[in-house]
Amino acid sequence: MRVAAPTLRREADCERLAAETLRAQWRMFERVSVRRRGSGGGLEATIHLNPVLVRGAAAQRSLHPSAATAARHAAQRLDAIAACVDRANEQLPAGALIEDFVVLG
């Protein structure tokens, strides 16, 4: 269900609101920046993960770390991030929807 939001006055307001909403989804997100995609379409988010939390989560989940477990954890983390983007979009007005994201860290 989409929540009614105040009218956003400027493009920067859309980007700021989208970044703040997405950042609030998961404490593993250290920093989120959002910008309009080059084609003039929707918004694209760059998500910087907290490296300490990423390492800590990996250490807690695996007694025997390997390349295979690291790959599996990365895939699961990407799925969780996509779910966070979906939840953020449910809270955002139509002009501030995140259509794509890149994860760093």
Residue 36 lies in domain: 11-104
Contacts 24+ apart (CB under 8 A), 59-62: none
Digit-coded pLDDT (tens) for 39-58: 667 899 999 999 999 888 87
16 has a pLDDT exceeding 80: yes
Q: Are strands 98-104 and 43-49 parallel, antiparallel or unpaired?
A: parallel
Indicate the pLDDT class of residue 4, thresholds 50, 70 and 90.
very low
Q: Name the domain count of the chain.
A: 1
In a domain, 6, yes or no: no
In a domain, 4, yes or no: no
- Report helix angle 67-91 to 51-61, nearest 10: 120
- Over residues 22-35, the mean pLDDT reads 95
In a domain, 1, yes or no: no
- Average pLDDT value over all residues in the chain: 86
CATH of the domain at 81: 3.30.300
In a domain, 73, yes or no: yes
In a domain, 5, yes or no: no
